[in-house]
Amino acid sequence: MPSDLRPIERNSQLVDLALRSELAVAGLRADPPLHRESGAGPSDDGFWLLGGLPTSVPIAPDSPWARSDDGVLTRNGIVVDAELAPIDPPRFYDRRTSDGIPMQQIARLHGRHVLATTVVQTCVRYGNEDERCRFCTIEESLAAGTTTQVKRPEQLAEVAVAAVRLDGVRQMVMTTGTSNGPDRGAKHLARCVAAVRRAVPGLPIQVQVEPPSGLGWIARLRQAGATSIGIHIESLDEEVRQRWTPGKASVPVERYEVVWREAVRVFGRNKVSTYLLIGLGENPDHLVAGARKLIGMGVYPFVVPFRPLAGSLAHADGVPAPGHDLVADVTDRVGAALRKAGMRGADQKAGCAACGACSALGAVGG
């Protein structure tokens, strides 16, 4: 195996950070049985169990990394001693809702145990390239006809029941495109959460939303039954925000801080998270310092490598993924800060930090 890669520590759930970071940015030549294409958040990836941990890896036909059908992982043709197991598509994908919609158009399996959905698949910022986040592909799956624009609460409840019964799903993530209204999409999210909780009372649910205009929406989401909340800023650097998320950057960082604090008050410490993307050009020391500040507020910084997804503006511009060394460095330092604070993603019960598949933080105990 290559000298700079150590094997996964089997049975310990520890995955080598260098290996995890390389796979995260280089991707894998393979045909994963469970995969997803363009949509909200990181996509164009396959889902695997890397040393037992749910892991999303870009599908990359030109990657030096490959996995043979009999499970051997190689880099540049050299065998790497790591266990990368496929995840079978769930049985609920074969079902339809009672109004005839294929369930996989309503929600998808992420990793091994997460049911994920985008309750409104359009975003007020997407139509205008001067406002759209440059990494985003939220409306591409809608254009491809693989999802529906608005998921109705009763559809989500039916799919959740099926996914829990047939496939052992343990948590649910509900994100939304941003609406024009002052709730920014929270109103529909709250209805969807309430319907799923009525149907499957024990299923933890994370909601993801932009900062609503009124702080009362945070408590309404909690009252509807959400377990945790993601309020995603992607970068704390103002220049990076203006360049990468020009529409969202109209909401000042200070407003995010007010809403994060309210969310921590309502949901609790380490039940609130935000995405911070590695590879947008931000100074890594600045990124880590910002992550530490968030941790001090009780907000979990889910650090994730930027991916140039097909269909995104960044992909059209030819912006590359970050180097794996940068991913490993930032992840290592943020992971250490999370451990020191006693904040584990798994303790959130629901959401991306609890899933961990799109970040390398799982390799460092975050």
Residues in contact with ligand SF4 by the rule CB under 6 A: 41-42, 56, 110-111, 114, 116, 173, 352, 355, 357-358
Whether residue 143 contacts residue 132, with contact meaning beta carbons closer than 8 Å, is answered with no
For residue 243, count CB atoms less than 10 angstroms from its CB and return exposed for 0-12, middle for 13-18, buried for 19 or more.
middle
Nearest-approach distance from CB 303 to ligand SF4, in angstroms: 12
Neighbours of 190 (CB within 10 A): 23
Q: How many whole angstroms separate alpha carbon 278 and alpha carbon 327?
A: 6
Pick the closer one to ligand SF4 by CB: 13 or 128: 13
DSSP E strands, 147-289: 171-175, 205-208, 228-230, 272-278
Other CB atoms within 10 A of residue 152 CB? 18
Residue 82 CA to residue 2 CA, distance in Å, equals: 12
- Residue 110: beta bridge partners? 114
Residue 47 CB, nearest approach to ligand SF4 (Å)? 7
Instruction: Decide whether 56 or 270 has the Cβ nearer to ligand SF4.
Output: 56
Q: Tell me whether residue 75 or residue 302 sits nearer to ligand SF4 (CB atom).
A: 302
What is the smallest separation between the CB atom of 41 and ligand SF4, expressed in angstroms?
4
Closest among 115, 109, 118, 150 to 137, alpha carbons compared: 118
Give the three-state DSSP class for 52: coil
CB neighbours of 291 closer than 8 A, spacing ≥ 6?
Answer: 276, 301, 303, 333, 334, 337
Nearer to ligand SF4, 75 or 270 (CB): 270
What is the token pair recorded at 36? 């997803």
Q: Least distance from C-beta 352 to ligand SF4, angstroms?
A: 3
The minimum distance between CB 45 and ligand SF4, in angstroms, equals 8
Q: Which is nearer to ligand SF4, 196 or 357 (CB)?
A: 357
Least Å distance between CB 19 and ligand SF4? Answer: 18
Min CB(359)–ligand SF4 separation in Å: 7
222 Cα distance to chain centroid: 20
Instruction: For residues 179 and 212, give the distance between their C-alpha atoms in angstroms, rounded to a whole number.
Output: 10
Looking at the Cβ atoms of 75 and 170, the one nearer to ligand SF4 is: 170
- Rounded to whole angstroms, the Cα distance separating 197 from 224 reads 8
Q: Write the CB contacts of 16 (distance below 8 Å, at least 6 apart in sequence).
A: 5, 6, 7, 8, 82, 363
> At its nearest, how many Å lie between ligand SF4 and the CB of residue 43?
8
Among 237, 248, 229, residue whose Cα is nearest residue 277: 237
The angle, 0 to 180 degrees and rounded to 10, between the axes of the packed helices 186-199 and 153-167 is 40
Least distance to ligand SF4, CB of residue 174, Å: 11
In the bound state with ligand SF4, the residue whose beta carbon lies nearer, of 39 and 225, is 39
Q: In DSSP terms, which residues pair with 53 in a beta bridge?
A: 50
Q: Based on CB atoms, which residue is closest to ligand SF4, 106 or 352?
A: 352
- From CA 70, how far away is CA 85, in angstroms rounded? 10
In the complex, least distance from residue 127 CB atom to ligand SF4, rounded to whole angstroms: 23
Choose between 138 and 355: whose C-beta lies nearer to ligand SF4. 355
Q: Which is nearer to ligand SF4, 75 or 307 (CB)?
A: 307
* Signed CA dihedral, 291, 294, 296, 299: sign only: negative
